[in-house]
Amino acid sequence: KLLWQQVASYSTETPAEEDEVLTGKEEVHEFKTETKRLLNIVANSLYSEKEASDAGWESIFVRELISNAADALEKLRHAQSMEHMDADKPLEIRISLDQDKRQFVIQDSGIGMTLEELNENLGTIARSGSKSFLEKLEKDGGSGSRENIIGQFGVGFYSTFMVGDHIKVYTRSAKPGSKGYCWTTDGQGSYTVAEAKNVAVGTKIVIELREDSKSYASQLEIDSIIKKYSNFVGFPIYLNGTEVNTVEPLWTKSKGEVTEEQHKNFYRFIANAWDDPQYTMHFKTDAPISISSVLYVPERHMEMLGERQEPGVSLYSRKVLIQPKSKGLLPDYLRFVKGVVDSEDIPLNVSRELLQDNILSRLRMVMTSRVLKWLDGEAKKNPKKYNDFFLDFGQFIKEGACTDAMHKRDIAKLLRFESSTTKSGDLTSLEDYNGRKLDNQESIYYLLTPKRRYAEESPYTEMFKKKGVELLYLYDTVDEFVVNHLSEFQGIKLVAADSPEAAADPLL
Ligand SMILES: Nc1nc(Cl)c2cnn(Cc3ccc(Br)cc3F)c2n1
């Protein structure tokens, strides 16, 4: 028994670090006027907006601080590969909360800041924030572009002033021989900087939360925020000692190294689904913009039950969630596609304005044609499987044929119909129809009837059969809109069998 007690006493966790202690004198610095204006805009106007704004808007500070920490870890990982650095700690992010003290602490073992960087980074606004920037911020403060501005100028750190009234930053650069510093402020007019000892390499930010932001000291709250926005950050995030982000950002891996099993699990996680994907697309490109994406077509869709599906693809930027189920990413008719698109060209916090911005629309163009080509490739690989897909998902493709003029050609290739030469229930494509038409046949002929039986009993079918001309059978009301919108395929006109144009065709 004694032996066990002895063994048990060798605890596994690292010895508790002594707290940081100030060693040098505290130098008081006046915030630059621009910085001061920015601080009270962020802390006040955005802060006052908080009741009006959607709940949890101020949770942006969690995303921002995790993103800064991840950047700092990335910089250290890169620097370590280049030269010797003073860091031997594992690259990780630790968040610890104290509900009683209403305290939120985030610590990274990243590259850390020198005294110059500390002062310089704070002055970011002063340098990049000319008067116009601040005027824009003051004007736009409430218009929803604020998240864009906070993320954009790397001033994510300032978002802490929305939820905290006392901020302490301990930091030590990984550059050999660097000293540790303690920066602190109450966000009013000045900040102090002092040398400190026992400061680990990296950065630790201690936020005393405001009374009405104390929910950010709750583990449940922070756990769900991390899982939603920062689940795929490339470094382990520990919340009160428990690792939170455990699902791999599959899209960052190269195509060959991801197994079908991993895709299945990832699909189920991001689509919140219980079935398996029937199609998987893992697509990466660097031009015209950087894109890493994994997209899936589910086995089944729920829309036949009536409720309209919301878009299934989420937009990430450098593994941080920007827009869950983003409407701007793919056209509405592709809302059945699930997955992730990550583009580091998108500033961390895209806002409504950016949705119309050319980056998003270019991303949308590239992704839409890739998805359409992907489906066409799958159809060629396995026509039977594609026909089964089309029986269930054809309604979406037909919606696209009626609405998306820009991708009309690619969509037309994906259409399938029964015809006078297929068995009941079997489908054929316009391409295959063209491949079978008579040499001097100038048109693709179709018959609109609600059911195959009516098509086969139609006098037109009798006449076309006699002439050896194949008829497409169109059963859905939407089909009429499709062929009217399409009007031709690969230069061959689409003509109704019972139209005057057909009657005038010498072939018939
Ligand atoms: N985690 C982390 N690591 C690094 Cl290397 C940097 C560099 N800048 N920032 C943003 C920032 C700037 C000034 C102050 Br004060 C605090 C603060 F978080 C960083 N944050």
474 close to ligand 1 (CB < 6 Angstrom): no
Task: Calculate how far, in angstroms, residue 180's C-alpha sits from the geometric centre of ligand 1.
Answer: 14
Mutate to test the pocket of ligand 1, among 121, 125, 158 (most ligand atoms within 8 A of CB): 121
In tens, the pLDDT along 360-369 reads 888 999 999 9
Q: Is 404 in the pocket of ligand 1 (CB under 6 A)?
A: no
- pLDDT single digits (tens) 358-392: 778 889 999 999 999 999 999 999 999 999 999 99
Whether the model clears a pTM of 0.80, i.e. scores above it, the answer is no
Tell how strand 202-209 and strand 164-172 pair up. Answer: antiparallel
330 and 368 Cβ atoms separated by less than 8 Å: yes
Poorest-confidence range of 57-66, 166-175, 216-225? 57-66
> Is the shortest distance between the CB of 291 and ligand 1 below 6 Å?
no
Output the residue whose Cα is nearest ligand 1's atom 20.
68
* pLDDT at 130 > cutoff 60: no
- Closest by Cα among 490, 261, 278 to 384: 278
Residue 288, preceding bond cis, omega within 30 degrees? yes
Q: Which atom of ligand 1 is nearest to the CA of 191?
A: 15
Pick the residue whose CA is nearest to atom 5 on ligand 1. 112
Any atom of ligand 1 within 6 Å of the Cβ of 157: yes
Q: What is the pLDDT of residue 144?
A: 47
Mean pLDDT of the chain: 86
pLDDT at residue 331 in the model = 96
Ligand 1 within 6 A of 93 CB? no
Q: Which residue has the higher pLDDT, 260 or 51?
A: 260
Hey, whose CA ends up nearest to atom 3 of ligand 1?
72
Q: Identify which of 241, 202, 169, 197 has the alpha carbon closest to the alpha carbon of residue 89.
A: 202
pLDDT of residue 56: 67
Band of residue 159 on the pLDDT scale cut at 50, 70, 90: confident
d(CA 426, CA 173): 67
Ligand 1 atom nearest the C-alpha of 106 is 1
Minimum-distance ligand 1 atom for the alpha carbon of 154? 10
Q: What are the tokens at 317?
A: 């930027």
Ligand 1 mean position, distance from CA 205 (Å): 9
CA of 34 to the centre of ligand 1 (A): 18
**Best of 67, 68, 77, 186 to mutate for ligand 1, by most ligand atoms within 8 A of CB?**
68
Q: Report the C-alpha gap between 114 and 366 in whole angstroms.
A: 42
Which of 191-200, 220-229, 258-267, 295-304 has the lowest average pLDDT?
295-304
Helix axes 131-140, 33-40, angle to 10 degrees: 10
More confident residue, 89 or 35: 89
Please give the pLDDT value at position 347: 66
Residue nearest to atom 11 of ligand 1 (CA): 157
Strand runs labelled E in 357-503: 416-419, 428-429, 443-448, 471-474, 488-489, 492-496
pLDDT at 140: 54
Question: How many Å lie between the centroid of ligand 1 and the Cα of residue 76?
Answer: 13
Measured from the CB, is residue 160 less than 6 Å from ligand 1? no
Higher pLDDT, 257 or 307: 257
Q: What's the confidence (pLDDT) of residue 11?
A: 45
- Best of 76, 105, 108, 113 for a ligand 1 pocket test (most atoms within 8 Å of beta carbon): 113
CA of 348 to the centre of ligand 1 (A): 16
Residue 235 beta carbon below 6 angstroms from any ligand 1 atom: no
112 C-beta closer than 6 A to ligand 1:
yes
Pocket mutation for ligand 1, best pick of 78, 157, 158, 183 (most atoms within 8 Å of C-beta): 157
**Contacts for 423 with CB less than 8 Å, ≥ 6 apart:** none
In the predicted model, what is the mean pLDDT of residues 132-156?
54
Provide the pLDDT confidence category of residue 114 given band limits of 50, 70 and 90: very high
Average confidence (pLDDT) over 481-507:
95
Cβ of residue 121 lying under 6 Å from some atom of ligand 1: yes
pLDDT over 70 at 312, yes or no: yes
Predicted complex ipTM exceeds 0.85? yes
pLDDT mean over 328-335? 94
* Alpha carbon of 203 to ligand 1 centroid (Å): 7
Q: Name, in order, each residue with C-beta under 8 angstroms of 193's C-beta and a sequence gap of 6 or more.
A: 26, 27, 29, 115, 118, 119, 181, 182, 183
Q: What is the dihedral of CA 71, 77, 83, 89, to 10 degrees?
A: 110
Residue with tokens 């990982």: 77
